[in-house]
């Protein structure tokens, strides 16, 4: 089996992305990040998902972006918005997060001899983050092939973003088809230590609407 690096946060999208990579016959090496986010419930979920979906391995890298702050996900002084998805880029955007994570995935891929990186970004039902757009993924792939020994030698690397043009409902339908147990995942921006979701942040709203549109029961445990 060909190795692939899969960015795995523990949320709904990344779990589906892992299932897709596995279904394509890749040996999946999952990379998760403890980047100073508000809670660790998502990281616990990532470990559960990696095990359930048969990942070859999972590694968690420490990366303290909370030292910079500037995002509601890494700075507790900034409140997580709870009024629904609004126009513009929200304060939950973590500056350069996907660029940093993809760069580290690129490093591991080159060491593994992998030419494939999977990332579960989405540009349909999403919060408007600039590093989730198709043009960003295409630009990063171009850079990756200019910046690596393998790329310069002609072993082209591909950044796979299989969810990027899917609605949240279609992502869920695909995951269910591939056997993803979404009860294992955590998407909430401000979940408690046990993974109970707030139900009102952008991520919770998009997730709940996706399950409703897909016609499946939402397995998310919500705070009372």
Q: Which residue has the tokens 């939950």?
A: 92
Name the strand (E) or helix (H) holding 8: none
In sequence order, what are the residues at sequence separation of 6 or more whose Cβ sits closer than 8 angstroms to the Cβ of residue 83? none
Question: CA-based diameter of the chain, in Å?
Answer: 56
d(CA 12, CA 18): 10
Give me the residues paired with residue 5 across strands: 29, 117
pLDDT in tens, the chain (224 residues): 999 999 999 999 999 999 999 999 999 999 999 999 999 999 999 999 999 999 999 999 999 999 999 999 999 999 999 988 888 899 999 999 999 999 999 999 999 999 999 999 998 877 789 999 999 999 999 999 999 998 999 899 999 999 999 999 999 999 999 999 999 999 999 999 999 999 999 999 999 999 999 999 999 999 96
pLDDT at 224: 65
Question: Computed from CA positions of residues 16, 22, 55, 137, in that sequence, does the dihedral angle turn out positive or negative?
Answer: negative
Tokens of 124: 């349909």
pLDDT at 83: 87
pLDDT at 126: 77
pLDDT at 85: 80
* Residue 9 burial class via C-beta count within 10 angstroms: exposed 0-12, middle 13-18, buried 19 and up: buried
pLDDT at 188: 97
Domain at 3-214: CATH code: 3.40.50.620
Q: How far is CA 64 from the centre of its chain?
A: 18
What pTM value is reported for the model?
A: 0.96
């Amino acid at each position: 089996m060909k190795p692939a690096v899969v960015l795995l946060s523990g949320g709904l999208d990344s779990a589906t992305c892992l299932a897709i990579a596995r279904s394509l016959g890749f040996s999946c090496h999952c990379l998760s990040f403890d980047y100073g986010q508000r809670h660790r419930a998502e990281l616990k979920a990532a470990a559960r998902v990696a095990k359930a979906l048969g990942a070859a391995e999972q590694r968690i890298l420490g990366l303290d972006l909370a030292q910079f702050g500037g995002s509601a996900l890494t700075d507790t002084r900034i409140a997580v918005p709870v009024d629904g998805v609004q126009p513009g880029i929200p304060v939950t955007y973590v500056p350069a997060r996907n660029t940093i994570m993809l760069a580290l995935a690129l490093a591991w891929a080159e060491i593994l001899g992998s030419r494939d990186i999977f990332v579960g970004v989405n540009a349909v039902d999403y919060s408007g983050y600039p590093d989730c757009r198709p043009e960003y993924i295409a630009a990063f792939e171009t850079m990756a092939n200019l910046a690596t020994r393998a790329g310069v030698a002609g072993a082209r690397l591909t950044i796979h973003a299989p969810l990027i043009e899917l609605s949240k409902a279609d992502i869920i339908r695909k995951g269910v088809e591939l056997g993803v147990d979404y009860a294992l995942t955590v998407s909430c921006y401000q979940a408690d230590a046990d993974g109970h979701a707030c139900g009102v942040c952008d991520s919770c709203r998009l997730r709940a609407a996706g399950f409703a549109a897909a016609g499946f029961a939402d397995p998310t445990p919500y705070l009372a």
